[in-house]
Amino acid sequence: MSFKKQFNFQNRYENIDFKGKRTDENVILLLRRHWLVFVFRFLPFLLLFIGLAIFHTVGTVIFNFFGLTFDLNLFYLIESFLVIFVWLALFITWINFYLDVWIVTDSRIVDIEQIALFSRHISELKHNKIQDVTSEVQGIIPTLFNYGDVYIQTAGNKQRFVFKQIPGPTNSRNIIMQLQKKAILEEKREEGEILRGKA
Q: What is the pLDDT of residue 74?
A: 80
| pTM of this prediction exceeds 0.75 | yes
pLDDT of 8 higher than 50:
no
Contact 187/11 with Cβ under 8 angstroms? Answer: no
H or E element: which one contains 15?
A: none
Instruction: Count structural domains, the chain.
Output: 2
In this structure, the answer to whether residues 116 and 91 fall within a common structural domain is: no
Question: Which amino acid type is present at position 47?
Answer: L
Q: What is the CA radius of gyration of the chain?
A: 25
Q: Which of 68, 96, 124 is the last residue of a domain?
A: 96
In this structure, the answer to whether residues 42 and 126 fall within a common structural domain is: no
In this structure, the answer to whether residues 130 and 88 fall within a common structural domain is: no
H or E element: which one contains 125?
A: strand 119-126
Q: What is the pLDDT of residues 18-48, one digit of tens each?
A: 777 788 888 899 999 999 999 999 999 999 9
As beta bridge partners, residue 134 has 151
Q: What is the pLDDT of residues 128-159, one digit of tens each?
A: 889 899 999 999 999 999 999 999 988 766 66
In this structure, the answer to whether residues 178 and 87 fall within a common structural domain is: no
- The predicted model gives 44-59 an average pLDDT of 89
In this structure, the answer to whether residues 121 and 168 fall within a common structural domain is: yes
Q: What is the pLDDT of residues 70-116, one digit of tens each?
A: 677 787 888 889 999 999 999 999 999 999 999 999 889 999 988 87
Instruction: Assign residue 111 the CATH number of its domain.
Output: 2.30.29
Q: Which of 58, 81, 96 is the last residue of a domain?
A: 96
Could you give the maximum distance between any two Cα atoms of the chain, in Å?
Answer: 98
> Domain residues for 51?
38-96
- The predicted model gives 157-184 an average pLDDT of 89
